[in-house]
Structure 1
Amino acid sequence: MQHFPIFLDLAGRRVVLSGGGDAALAKLRLLLKTEAHLTVFAADPAPEIENWASQSRLRLVRRAMQPGDTLCAALFYAADEDANEDARTSALARADGALVNIVDNLQDSQFITPAIVDRDPVTVAIGTEGAAPVLARAIKADLEAKLPATLGPLARIGKAFRKMAEALPMGRARREFWADYYFRTGPTAIATGEDGAREALDELLLRHLDAKNRPGHVAFVGAGPGDPELLTLKARRALDEADVVIYDRLISAEILELARREATLIDVGKEAYGPSTPQETINALIVEHAQKGAQVVRLKSGDSTVFGRLDEEIEACDAASVSWHIVPGITAASAAVAAIGQSLTKRQRNASVRLLTGHDMKGFADHDWATLARPGEVAAIYMGKRSARFIQGRLIMHGADRTTPVTVIENASRPDQRILSTTLDALPTDLADANLSGPALTFYGLASRAASAALPALQQELA
Structure 2
Amino acid sequence: MPEPASSSGLYPLFVDLRGRTVLVVGGGAVARRKALALLESGARVVVGAPQLDPGLMAWAAEGRIDTYSGAFDPAWLDDVWLAIAATGDAAANRAVAAAGETRRVWVNVVDDAAASAFHVPARIERGPLQIAISSGGGAPMLARRLRETLEAQLDSSLGALAELLTRERARIRKAFPEIAQRRRFFDRLLAGPLPQLLRQQRTRRAQQAFEALLSGDRPPRSVGSVVLVGAGPGDPGLLTLRGLRALNEADVILHDRLASDDVLRLARRDAERIEVGKRAGGHGVTQQGIHALMLEHARAGKRVVRLKGGDPFVFGRGGEELEFLRDHGIAYEVVPGITAALACAAYAGIPLTHRDHAQSLRLVTAHRQDSLDAVDWRSLAQDKQTLAVYMGVAMLDALQTQLIAHGRSPDTPFALVENGSRAEQRVVVGKLSELVECARAHEARSPALLIVGEVAGFAEELHWFGEKPLGAGLADHMEKAA
Matched residues in 1 for 2:307 and 2:369: separation? Answer: 21
- Return the match for 1:319 from 321, 327, 335: 327
**Partner of 1:420 in structure 2?**
428
| Cα pair 1:268 1:277 within 8 Å, conserved | yes
* Residue 418 of structure 2 corresponds to residue 440 of structure 1: no
| Cα pair 1:359 1:365 within 8 Å, conserved | no
- Return the match for 1:207 from 178, 185, 194: 185
**Partner of 2:458 in structure 1?**
449
| Local SS of the residue matching 1:321 | coil
Matched residues in 1 for 2:368 and 2:179: separation? Answer: 55
**Partner of 1:348 in structure 2?**
356
- Measured after TM superposition, the shift of residue 144 of structure 1 is 4.3
Matched residues in 2 for 1:349 and 1:284: separation? Answer: 46
- Measured after TM superposition, the shift of residue 145 of structure 1 is 3.8
**Counterpart amino acid of residue 244 in structure 1:** V
Q: Equivalences for 1:36-435 in 2 at 5 Å? A: 142-147=141-146, 205-211=183-189, 212=219, 215-271=223-279, 274-360=282-368, 362=370, 364=372, 366-435=374-443
| Cα pair 1:340 1:448 within 8 Å, conserved | no
Worse overlay, 268-277 or 389-398:
268-277
**Counterpart amino acid of residue 447 in structure 1:** A
Q: Structure 1 pair 335/268, CA: closer, same or farther in 2 (3 Å)?
A: same
Matched residues in 2 for 1:235 and 1:421: separation? Answer: 33
- Measured after TM superposition, the shift of residue 265 of structure 1 is 0.6
| Local SS of the residue matching 1:285 | helix
| Cα pair 2:391 2:446 within 8 Å, conserved | no
TM-score, normalised to structure 2, is 0.52
| Local SS of the residue matching 1:392 | helix
Q: Structure 1 pair 370/449, CA: closer, same or farther in 2 (3 Å)?
A: same
Q: Structure 1 pair 337/283, CA: closer, same or farther in 2 (3 Å)?
A: same
| Cα pair 2:415 2:459 within 8 Å, conserved | no
- Measured after TM superposition, the shift of residue 435 of structure 1 is 1.5
**Partner of 2:79 in structure 1?**
none
**Partner of 2:86 in structure 1?**
none
Matched residues in 1 for 2:363 and 2:332: separation? Answer: 26
| Local SS of the residue matching 2:312 | coil
| Cα pair 1:357 1:365 within 8 Å, conserved | no
Q: Structure 1 pair 382/204, CA: closer, same or farther in 2 (3 Å)?
A: farther
| Cα pair 1:339 1:413 within 8 Å, conserved | yes
Among the aligned pairs, what percent are the same residue? 40
Matched residues in 2 for 1:205 and 1:344: separation? Answer: 54
Partner deviation per Cα, 1:167-187 (whole Å, 9 max, x = no partner) = xxxxxxxxxxxxx9xx989xx
| Cα pair 1:226 1:252 within 8 Å, conserved | yes
Partner deviation per Cα, 1:401-436 (whole Å, 9 max, x = no partner) = 111100011111111111111111111111111123
TM-score, normalised to structure 1, is 0.54
- Measured after TM superposition, the shift of residue 147 of structure 1 is 4.2
**Counterpart amino acid of residue 449 in structure 1:** F
**Counterpart amino acid of residue 431 in structure 1:** A
| Cα pair 2:393 2:445 within 8 Å, conserved | no
**Counterpart amino acid of residue 436 in structure 1:** A
**Counterpart amino acid of residue 404 in structure 1:** T
**Counterpart amino acid of residue 344 in structure 2:** A
**Counterpart amino acid of residue 284 in structure 2:** S
Partner deviation per Cα, 1:51-95 (whole Å, 9 max, x = no partner) = xxxxxxxxxxxxxxxxxxxxxxxxxxxxxxxxxxxxxxxxxxxxx
| Cα pair 2:369 2:395 within 8 Å, conserved | no
Matched residues in 2 for 1:341 and 1:333: separation? Answer: 12
Matched residues in 2 for 1:378 and 1:218: separation? Answer: 35
Matched residues in 1 for 2:279 and 2:375: separation? Answer: 22
Matched residues in 1 for 2:451 and 2:368: separation? Answer: 18
Matched residues in 1 for 2:416 and 2:227: separation? Answer: 31
Q: Structure 1 pair 450/309, CA: closer, same or farther in 2 (3 Å)?
A: closer
| Local SS of the residue matching 1:447 | helix
**Partner of 1:108 in structure 2?**
none
Worse overlay, 340-349 or 259-268:
340-349
**Counterpart amino acid of residue 252 in structure 2:** V
